[in-house]
Amino acid sequence: MKTVSQDQLRAFKENRKNRGRLLINCPDQPGIVAAVSKFLFENNANIIESSQYTTNPEGGNFFMRVEFECPGLLGKKEEMKSQFQIIADTFSMEWKIAFVHDLKKTAIFVSKELHCLRELLWEWQNGDLLTDIALVVSNHEVARDIVESMDIHFFYIPASKENRKEVEEKQLQVLKEFDVDLTILARYMQILTPSFVEAQPFKVINIHHSFLPAFVGARPYDRAYQRGVKIIGATSHYVTNDLDEGPIIEQDIMRVDHRDNIDDLKKIGRSIERSVLARAVKWHLEDRIIVHENKTIVF
């Protein structure tokens, strides 16, 4: 089976060695864009893409994402961070500079249903999901063959309510060993404990098989059928300690009607789940998301 080769990854990193992304969140006031533009100009950086949003022109919050090309970026990363900290202090910014050369490492958690995992692997195999998939973790063995056929590490760690603490300690240790930046719950049907979530703030993305806030929790398709809904959907969100209530990244829906039984709803829903999760993961990997309170700004 053809997979993303190390040569392809090296080529991507070489082509993006001078590409950076700057994300900003601060109280809105005049002069922010000018200060950021001046900073990039003085570092001989060329702006490739720039997006801004303010919640309210009078006393609101300002959000900005800038993607730029800067000759010799790898050699002056720390210097640029130090320089920008002065601007950040002036405007009371929450900010980060991401360097595209540093590919994010991801871990995928999955249970028995593999449609979301397959979609992510397909996007990765095509070169459309630019990440280093370091490992797949599952509480079932069904995904082992497809994962190992792509030379990705597979960890089978049985999980239940009874051994949840012990299991999560093992999982967190593995994530630390592989230096994982993002954990993707691709229909991983286990509730995470506060300790697991707090160890990775806004670095765990889930796919929930309903159009939240409708049908939070288990068996949403069954409950949607009983309610006689006319649309079903899926929601990708960051995981917090409140079940299925973390900041929403992406959603989508499809129409259904009285002819569709529960199995029909599940079949239709799987298609939505795959695409919604893939888009949310891509946007995170591309540094397009800023979390503000319990919402997201997606550029």
The set of residues, in sequence order, having a beta carbon less than 8 Å from that of 10 and lying 6+ positions away, is none
- Which position among 28, 181, 244, 260 bears the catalytic label? 244
Cα(150)–Cα(133) distance, integer angstroms: 10
Q: Is 244 a catalytic residue?
A: yes
- Chain mean position to CA 28: 26
What token pair was written down for 130?
């630019």
Residue with tokens 């288990």: 218
Residues taking part in catalysis:
244
